[in-house]
Structure 1
């Protein structure tokens, strides 16, 4: 059964409710998050499934948009005043079952005023709320998920199990007195027979399976091969002897001599 029940009004912010449910499902597992149009199987009793799910959930997320409080029934009455309104009924069930009720105010929705709510759900206005905005969706969803994981320990454990199963477990390192950049990765595998150096600013260079000497630092490197030679200087000059080719790219005029 679910741990989180997503309560919303279809005429108000069903899109936001879907986004919230999908992110929480991704983080904690889809079976732990109930949203009616996703979770109720074909042919099942709609009222029964709703009531069972909300009564067994540890938290109810009440998605409240700008039109939530003023939505009307077919005969023109305010929906919140209708005892048969499912948005209202689910919130009442959550309070009666002792679930944690979290209003999520969408966009520019103002805080709820208990004086404007039916007495049966006036307590909703006193519950600590969170906000959701499309402009800052990532941080809003992350904060909501973090708060739920802290409030409901088994959600945190479910998240750790998903991370282990998908290879996304966090990597923890302690690094001190580093002058430069540090890159952290969950997994790092390589077959190294070359070397690792640093070229230009913070760009790291990895040379794999090097077949000869490699210079990745500062200073001068001299390499001599019997049938030719290679000489690298830190000031930008080089001399290559194979046939006869002389290149001088130093600071003395940029001379280049070539002989056939």
Structure 2
């Protein structure tokens, strides 16, 4: 069942409510947000679905614009005065059940005078609100999402924006750990590390050739074993070693 119920009044700010629904669905997942036109499938009984969703949600957003209290029903009276008004019924059910209710005041909308509200809605005037202004839509939508993520831990666990920030930081930490492990654990030998490190030769214990051509090493030998050691070969074949006694210079034989 959804965690957040988006409540709005047709004829007031239904477009803003749809925008809020899209952003919250993107951030937390569509199944977490209830928006009547999206969440009730064709053929389903909408009265039962509306009440069921309100009773099981954790938070209700009451989207209130400048015309919220002015919209009138078929009898010519303010719509919210009718007990059959769905906007009123949804908010009243949420308040009665102790659900978190957050008024979202849109544009020039102000707090509604509790004296003007029916008794079952008067508590709505006391609920702390969030602001939404179309000129500041991105920031206000982000602030609303942040508030829900903080207030509803289960919903916050599904926060894709928070995850997008968190995962690169964690990956960076793992990369630093892996680099440190390489420095600490590699003792001797030849290997290849992906990335910028390339081929490493660490603490070689003998001749090393990592490419084509001859490699000459001149280790120190005592006695008659003075000579030149060279290695011939490349990475695709075997490595051959042999010793050749140095030819004495002519002036040493005089």
Output the TM-score relative to the length of structure 2. Answer: 0.65
**Aligned Cα RMSD in Å?**
2.3
Shift of 1:170: 4.7
Contact 2:63–2:105 (CA under 8 A) maintained in structure 1? yes
Shift of 1:120: 1.1
Deviations 1:227-255 (A, max 9, x none): xxxxxxxxxxxxxxxxxxxxxxxxxxxxx
Contact 1:130–1:144 (CA under 8 A) maintained in structure 2? yes
Q: Report the Cα distance in structure 1 between the residues aligned to 2:196 and 2:168, rounded to whole angstroms.
A: 25
Q: Report the Cα distance in structure 2 between the residues aligned to 1:168 and 1:15, rounded to whole angstroms.
A: 32
Q: Report the Cα distance in structure 2 between the residues aligned to 1:47 and 1:163, rounded to whole angstroms.
A: 36
Contact 1:25–1:33 (CA under 8 A) maintained in structure 2? yes
Q: Report the Cα distance in structure 2 between the residues aligned to 1:170 and 1:111, rounded to whole angstroms.
A: 41
Contact 1:7–1:62 (CA under 8 A) maintained in structure 2? yes
The equivalent residue for 1:81 is: 81
Count of paired positions: 177
Q: Report the Cα distance in structure 2 between the residues aligned to 1:98 and 1:34, rounded to whole angstroms.
A: 18
Q: Report the Cα distance in structure 2 between the residues aligned to 1:193 and 1:169, rounded to whole angstroms.
A: 24
Contact 1:160–1:169 (CA under 8 A) maintained in structure 2? no
1:112 and 2:112 equivalent? yes
Q: Report the Cα distance in structure 2 between the residues aligned to 1:147 and 1:29, rounded to whole angstroms.
A: 16
Q: Report the Cα distance in structure 2 between the residues aligned to 1:71 and 1:32, rounded to whole angstroms.
A: 29
The equivalent residue for 1:24 is: 24
1:139 and 2:143 equivalent? no
Contact 1:28–1:162 (CA under 8 A) maintained in structure 2? no
Secondary structure of 1:43's partner?
Answer: coil
Q: Report the Cα distance in structure 1 between the residues aligned to 2:46 and 2:163, rounded to whole angstroms.
A: 33
- The residue correspondences of 1:1-260 to structure 2 (distance < 5 A) are 1-159=1-159, 163=163, 169-171=167-169, 191-192=195-196
Q: Flag the 1:168–1:105 CA change in 2: closer, same or farther, 3 A.
A: same
Q: Which has the higher helix share?
A: 2
Secondary structure of 2:159's partner?
Answer: helix
Q: Report the Cα distance in structure 2 between the residues aligned to 1:192 and 1:79, rounded to whole angstroms.
A: 68
Q: Flag the 1:112–1:122 CA change in 2: closer, same or farther, 3 A.
A: same
Contact 1:114–1:123 (CA under 8 A) maintained in structure 2? yes
Q: Flag the 1:153–1:193 CA change in 2: closer, same or farther, 3 A.
A: closer
Q: Flag the 1:128–1:41 CA change in 2: closer, same or farther, 3 A.
A: same
Q: Report the Cα distance in structure 1 between the residues aligned to 2:42 and 2:134, rounded to whole angstroms.
A: 31
Question: Which stretches in structure 2 are left out of the alignment for 5+ residues?
Answer: 174-193, 199-254
